[in-house]
Amino acid sequence: MMKVRIKRIVKATLLFFYGSQTKPRTILFGALRGYRINMCPLSELSYIFGSVEKHFSRIIGQYVKEGDNVLDIGANVGFHTLSLSRLVSASGNVFSFEPVPETVRRLKANLELNGIFNVKVYQLAAFDRNMLIAIRVPEDGSNHLMASIHWHKNDATAKRIEVQGVVVDDIAEISRVHVSFVKIDVEGAEGDVIKGLTKLINRDRPVIFMECSDLGRKIVWGIMNEVHYVCYGAKDNERIDCLSLYKHGDFLWVPKEQR
């Protein structure tokens, strides 16, 4: 109870200091220290302290190098895109996919804030077909973190937006380069994304960081084992050898030849 109270006091103090307005703020700690990001302290304080998914920062520090070409599928407002951009540097490229128009606006603004030119933003939903699809953003369209193609269908508060779905394998610009790393965080649509990435996976054998949901787990498990990848828990680096252990969470898929 004491720890909970302390956290509440700390958060209240920080909110009093920073306020609740969404505006550009400086990241104080972590790999992106000194970068600027548009954020709302009410829901995104972790951006300021550089504490967003530390296991992801550890993994890309190991697998992403200067000059690499990488994909950020489900880029949201771009915190991870910024991290990837820093690591690949001017000689590399980040291809970021984010379908929600308002979220894309914030993503591009964050790139402009930091003078970043090695990121190509696609206002598209990575999918298994090239077609218009519906995406739903809960809380009247304000909760962009949980925007989903598959979820919130019975949520009366969710805002429905029609977006363009695209098969990443069909994008010529990406097919012309070697992709070494892929991040996928798409709120239940990871199975659809993977089905549209099989050519790239077989050609380039990238390391893949993926948030797994109950909805997409069987599809992903089948495809990734078929193309000879090994799965690890992203936080504990424990090898996952059976579907029953591949549950909701973050995972790292690595080609067998790299382990």
**Helices within 27-147 (DSSP H only):** 41-48, 54-63, 79-88, 101-113, 138-141
Beta bridge mates, 111: none
- 80 and 7 in one domain? no
Structural domains in the chain (count): 2
Determine the pLDDT at residue 152.
Answer: 76
- 226 and 109 in one domain? yes
Residues 6+ positions from 2 with CB-CB distance below 8 Å: none
Determine the pLDDT at residue 19.
Answer: 63
- 215 and 94 in one domain? yes
- 66 and 192 in one domain? yes
- 184 and 90 in one domain? yes
CATH of the domain at 122: 3.40.50.150
- 14 and 79 in one domain? no
Side-chain half-sphere exposure of 115, counting CA atoms within 13 A: 3
Residues 6+ positions from 187 with CB-CB distance below 8 Å: 74, 146, 147, 148, 149, 150, 151, 211, 213
- 84 and 36 in one domain? no
**Helices within 19-78 (DSSP H only):** 41-48, 54-63
- 46 and 108 in one domain? no
- 37 and 21 in one domain? yes
Domain edge (last residue) among 52, 67, 89: 52
- 190 and 142 in one domain? yes
Radius of gyration of the chain (CA): 18
- 221 and 169 in one domain? yes
Residue type, 212: C
Determine the pLDDT at residue 28.
Answer: 85
Alpha-carbon gap, residue 105 to 111, rounded angstroms: 10
Beta bridge mates, 60: none
Side-chain half-sphere exposure of 137, counting CA atoms within 13 A: 17
pLDDT per 10-residue tile (average), the chain, 259 residues = 62 65 84 87 76 90 97 94 96 96 93 96 96 84 68 76 95 97 92 96 98 91 96 95 91 91
Strand 125-126 relative to strand 159-166, pairing = parallel
Nearest 5 degrees, angle CA 55-CA 57-CA 58? Answer: 65
Determine the pLDDT at residue 65.
Answer: 97
Structural domain span for residue 37:
1-52
- 174 and 136 in one domain? yes
Determine the pLDDT at residue 89.
Answer: 96
